[in-house]
Structure formats: C-alpha cells, structure tokens
Structure 1
Amino acid sequence: MAAIAPGGRIGILGGGQLGRMLAMAAAELGHKCHIYCPDDEVPAADVAAALTRAPYDDADALARFADSVDVVTYEFENVPAETARILSEHAPVRPGAAALATAQDRLTEKNFLKRNGIATAPFADVADTDDLAAALAAIGAPAVLKTRRMGYDGKGQAKILAPKAAAAAWDAIGRLPAILEGFVDFEREISVVVARGLDGEVAAYDPVENIHTNHILDRTFAPAALTPALADEARAIATKIVSELDYAGVMGVEMFVGRDGRLLVNEIAPRVHNSGHWTMDACAVSQFEQHIRAICGWPLGSPARHSDAVMTNLIGADAGKWSAVAAEPGAKLHLYGKAEARAGRKMGHVNRLYPLGKRPPVTPR
C-alpha cells in the first residue's frame, strides 16, 4: 500500500483539542488537514487548511469531505456507523471499522478482550432489572453500572455499593443497555499509548500512571513506577490488542494494576489519548505525529523517552494560570484555543520535564 507523501490531505472528524494537535503534527510533516465538525466553536480549524461545518449524518457533505482528502481519521470513537460507512466509500478510514465497533460498545469491548485472553474486571450484560439482579448476585457489590455506549469522563456510570441501590443506579443511567463491572482492588491506574502501522509495525510508549479527579484525568506521570517485567507485560497487552484488531493508528489502552500484581484492562480508546500528551515534549516523536505516520503508511518513529514528565490537565479556570506556567522553568504550556473556560472543560495542559529517572513521586495535588 503506497504511503501518502508530504503534501497529502488528511481529513479529521471532530474539531476539538485532539483534532487540533493532530493537525499541528500533520503540518510539521508537510500535510494539510481538513476538519469536519458540526460545532460552532472548532479549535482544530484554527490550525487546519479547511473546515466543513456540517452534521455527522449529512451524507452529501460527508461524501464531498471524503472526496477532498487522501485518508480520514477521527478524534473521538463514537463515530456513527453510517458516517463511517459513507466515508469509507470515498476514502480510507483509519483506524478502521473493527476498532470503532469494538470500542463503541463496552460489552463488545469486554468480550473482545476476553476472547483474546486479556484479563478485565468481572462483567455481565445488563438489559433490564432482572439482568441487573442476576449480575449483582454473580459479581457482588460494590460494583459499577455503565451504559454500553457513549459514556466518557465518568458519564453514564453509577456505583452500586449495596444491592438495595440497584434500582436507583438503573434509573440514574436512564435504563439504557449496560454492563455491570465488579470493583477492582487496584494499586494504581496506568495506560499504554501504542501505535500500529499499515505494515503491522508496532511502537508502544512507556506505561504511565494516571491520577483522576471527578472522573477526569488530572495528571499523568511518565513513566509509571513498574517493574521492568510488568512494564513489558503492559506493552505486550497493548500490542496484542492492536494486532488482533488489524489496527492502523494510535490507541490508548487503560489498565489497572491490582494489589496482587495482575494487570486488568479497563478500556481501549481507538484514537490519540489524553494520557499520551506528555509525549509531545518528552519524546522525539509525539503520539500525534505517530498517529499521522501510521495512518499515512510512513515508518513509525521511536517511542523512546528522552525525559521523564508529569502532564497536568488544565481544567476550567486552571487555564487562567497561563502566565505563571509560562514563566516556570522546565514547563511546556499547551492551550487549546477554547473561548470559554467552563467547569470540567479541558482548556489545555502543561508538561513538566525532568531528567530520566528523576520525575517526582506520585502525590495528591
């Protein structure tokens, strides 16, 4: 399959910060990006060559968009199946349909992992209250009820600390098709950002440790404090996932490290990932450049770190601290060009770099 040479045009579904950083990375490799997004505010369009503002179900607009580019990618995994089908009739869509279908449905995702011998928390399909009662009897409480589709940053989830709370949890998620997951007694949350090229080449970044606040990623510590054997196992799991999906592009694989030392996969994200933002300044090739390389058929770059790093998300009013961050030695500020700093909204991030082996310990803010 021929590589897309410099000067190619890359279509990106979604106009948020991930699309913005993909477009910036593509420009550094000589490509031009065309953003497709229905929103009024499109931060990615500020750094792209073209913008189509249209709904994701506008078949004519999608066809014109796909005809104008050499490849289509996306910054979010909940691309409607019909949207992906229309686009694929006019241009390659990477990552492909199998990855989208797997990641869009938590039950499909968990069953895929189970079939491939990859450990997860115990889970069960929940379509109604009878299923929920049976799942609680099998898995026990505490547990968490999650909608099968569309949940992110803690949305579409309800904890069940005791069986008597099941009805309230079912109502809280809107009585939608769901899965019940058992709680995991974990030591830490980690993730691996992994890339796979069109030729099957795989490059996995070092596992990192993630700290969440109110279900939103707060900080990422690179690298995670793991034994070499456990870090290798985490990379091997991520590699197996992208290989089994015949994947092209970058994926984020979130995992728990159990107190018993086992690795359990929590979820996969078929796109560039918030926990990979540290690679922009601590690696020669960032996750964003790596994704562009992968979907364009280029050789993958080295995922090696030249520095340790701590990535901190700037949420809401945090972005107002830009002046102090900009004056801080060893800190690299990335702002997303969003006009309104709302509570819970990701406005930017800062990467703080340290010599190899010298990153600070994981501590509460």
Structure 2
Amino acid sequence: MSTRRQLVLGILGGGQLARMLALAAAPLGVKSLVVDSAADACAGQVAPLVVADWTDYDALEHFARQVDVVTFDFENVPAETAHWLAERVAVFPAPRALAVAQDRLAEKTLFRECGLQTPDFKAIDTRQDLDLALAAIGAPAILKTRRLGYDGKGQFRIKSLADADAAWAALGAQAEAHGLILEAFVPFDRELSVIAVRSRDGEFRTWPLTQNWHTDGVLSLSLAPAPDIAGLQERATGLARTLAEKLDYVGVFALELFVKNGELLGNEMAPRVHNSGHWTIEGALTSQFENHVRAVLGMPLGDTSARGLSAMFNWIGELPDAAPVLEAVDAHWHDYGKQPRVGRKVGHATVCAPDADQLIERLSGVARALGRDQQAYPAVGKLMEKQ
C-alpha cells in the first residue's frame, strides 16, 4: 500500500502567529517547521524549531530542503533572506510584498498608486528635512522609522513644532541607516482593519471589517463585524484586492485603515496573519490561520463569513485570571506560552455571541469579573457606545 507524503509548511519566525499557524495546519494534514533565533520561541512548543539567525545560510539551506513552502510569522525577516530562500523553495507571500511592507515610505506610495488615500507624508533623512517637512505638513505629526517599527515602536508624536528637537534626539540616529518618515496626525473617527486572503490562482476573499482600539500603540480590543460600516466593507475589499493583485500576493494580509468623515485612509499593511484577525479562530467559518495555510500550499480557500459577533481582548504583559473568561458563554482562551514581560503580547481571549445584546452582556460580565470596568478599561466603554 502506498503512503501519502505529508506536506511541510516552513515558517520564518517563531512567535504566537507561527504557533497558531502550526495549530491550524495540523488538521489539514500539514506539518510545520519553524525557524527562529530564540531557543524559547513559543511556536517551538507546538512544532519543531530550528534555532538559527537569518544569515545562517547553512541552517537555512537545510531548512529549505525539508519544506514545501516558506511563509512568515512577522514582516521584519530580512528581504535578502526571503529572496535567497525563494531561489530554493516556494516563498509566499513573495519577497517583494515583504520588502514593501518593511518600508513605510514604499508602503504609503503603493497605497496611493492603488487609489487608497493616506495622511500626508514626507521622507526624512536629515534634521533639515524634518524642519522642512514640519513646515509643509504642520503639527501635530508623527515621526516614524521607515523600517523595523510595530506596535507603536519606533515612533515619536510631535505635538507642536517645539517638539522637533526631542523627536530628532529620539529617532534621528536611525535616519542614516534606515530613513525616517513624517506623517500628518489624523484625528480619525475610528480604526478598522480588513483581513484578506488571496490564493495561488488569484481567488480573493475578505473577512468582515474589524473595528480596533489601541492602548499605548498596542491593540487592546477588536470587534467583528465592525458596526455601522455603511458601505465601507465594499470599498475596503476593493482596495485590498487592488493591493493584492498589484503585489501578486499569496496568503493572508491585513490592511489597517483610519476612517475620517466617512472616508478610508491607509495606515499600514501587514504581510501576514494579523492580531486583529484572531477573532476568526472561533468567530468565522474559516480562520485567518487556516486560510493562510490553504493559500500558500495551493489548497481551495475556506468561507470567510462570520458566525455572529466576536470581541477579542489582547493580554499584554501578563495573563489575567482565566476563570472569569472561561466561565462566560462562548468564550475562548489563548495562552501563547510566553514569559510575562512589560509590553509583550502573551495571550488573547475571544467572546462570541449571536447578537449585540448578548455580546454586550457577556463582555460586561467578563470585564467586571476581571476588574476592568468601563473606567479601567476604556475600550469596553467605547464598544458599548458604538452598539
């Protein structure tokens, strides 16, 4: 009797996204092999882990020979490493998409080419560039590194022109190595994200728009489907499709959006599964993780419809007591197996319900039990106001 060879998914990066990809791959009969420079990378708890640096080409050569396709856990894998691997094994999304998403200037330029408006921006390489850009854009504005920034890192908010010196002191040293970008501050009405997936043969799907709230630059709460979107779903889907086709993208990606006066503005693109899509594990017919595995391995895509309403809480720094969440109806707990650390994403929980009234009731109970009432946990209060 012949035996079927098991497909192997190679994942660059061993954080919680790799962990959830591996968990989604297993029911599809797909093995996972993870590469990370940290021996304690949390994905190593659920899949074999190769401990290697991104420039350890001997280890990467061995890795490439063991897998059918390579994908990413996070976007800061060097583009050079992605290109090197692409000469030896299929890599999705393509290294070009990774390179664009690694550079905020290239990303914003691409957005505008695709018809997605953005806040005003200027490239910054020198202190004089910053003064000229502030004169053109004005304050408030945000000075950001062009590369290697996420979850609010690598950013300095300039509230007035008097903050220019402090901003340059904080980030100016990175201007020569990676470049900076100044972006106009947008007093947006709300933050949304569209999670999209495109297959190898060009099939394209999106999940319902998700509304997001951040605390100190880190996602704290997501609600899906977002309420009161009034035609924004179709617009966001069209923009995401244009972006995906322009990049010949394969896999899941997130497009982060601001809404201002009913119009969409592009904030960032993440060329990977995304924190604001974690609700899809329990709240959608097919999760973002399963569909990413399907897409990069050439399998048919699954239905991205929502089962009802879902709210996802991020746990930052340390995990709270799980019991109040687990006692709630249709609530789901995810411990990433990480050691507590200030600012670190260590887990999340998702609460699902068939309608808004039941979701609010379940969330209110969880928030009270955790001691995170509307005053202590503002995102919950904002959620209540939106319903």
Q: TM-score, normalised by structure 2?
A: 0.89
Q: What is the aligned partner in structure 1 of residue 45 from structure 2?
A: 46
Quote the residue 1:72 is aligned against.
70
1:328 corresponds to: 328
- Contact residue 118 and residue 264 of structure 1 kept, 8 A: yes
What's 1:223 paired with? 225
Aligned residue pairs total 357
Contact 2:111 2:118 in 1 (8 A): yes
- 1:232 is aligned, of 231, 234, 248, to 234
Alignment RMSD? 1.5
Aligned to 2:337: 337
- Counting aligned pairs with the same residue, the percent is 47
Structure 1 partner of 2:199: 197
Tell me how far 1:98 sits from its aligned partner. 1.4
- When structure 1 is superposed on structure 2, of 216-225 and 228-237 the one drifting more is 228-237
Matched to 1:148, the amino acid is R
> Which structure: greater helix fraction?
2
- Consecutive unaligned residues in structure 1, runs of 5 or more: none
| Alpha-carbon distance change, 255 to 201 in structure 1, aligned in 2, over 3 angstroms | same
Per the TM alignment, residue 362 of structure 1 is displaced from its structure 2 partner at its CA by: 5.7
Corresponding residue for 1:250?
252
- Residue 282 of structure 1: aligned partner: 283
SS state at 1:137 partner? helix
Conserved 8 A contact 1:154-1:216: yes
Please tell me whether the aligned partners of residues 6 and 29 of structure 1 are also in contact (alpha carbons under 8 angstroms).
no
**Unaligned 5+ runs, structure 2:** 361-378
Question: How many Å apart are 1:54 and its aligned residue?
Answer: 0.9
In the aligned structure 2, how far is the partner of 1:224 from the partner of 1:247? 25
Letter in 2 for 1:285: T
Q: Output the CA distance in 2 between the equivalents of 1:316 and 1:255.
A: 26
Deviation at 1:95, TM superposition (A): 0.4
Contact 2:82 2:91 in 1 (8 A): yes
Deviations 1:81-117 (Å, cap 9, x if unpaired)? 2211221122111000110111000001011111222
Counterpart check, 1:156 vs 2:174: no
User: TM-score normalized by structure 1?
Assistant: 0.95
Instruction: Give the C-alpha shift of residue 242 in structure 1.
Output: 1.0
Q: 1:6 to 1:316 in 2, by over 3 A?
A: farther
Aligned to 2:82: 84
- For residues 74 and 207 of structure 2, the distance between their equivalents in structure 1, rounded to whole angstroms, comes to 21
Preserved CA contact (<8 Å) 1:309 1:353: yes
Contact 1:221 1:362 in 2 (8 A): no
Q: Which residue of 1 aligns with 2:211?
A: 209
Separation (CA, whole Å) in 2 of partners of 1:164 and 1:314: 36
- Give CA-to-partner distance per residue, 1:70-89, whole Å, 9 cap, x none: 00001100111221122112
Name the CA distance, whole Å, in 1 between partners of 2:275 and 2:284.
15
Q: Which residue of 1 aligns with 2:381?
A: 363
Q: For 1:236 and 1:333, how far apart are their aligned partners in 2?
A: 33
Aligned to 2:129: 131
Partner amino acid, structure 2, of 1:119: Q
Amino acid at match of 1:11: G
Separation in structure 1 between the aligned mates of residue 89 and residue 195 of structure 2, nearest angstrom: 26
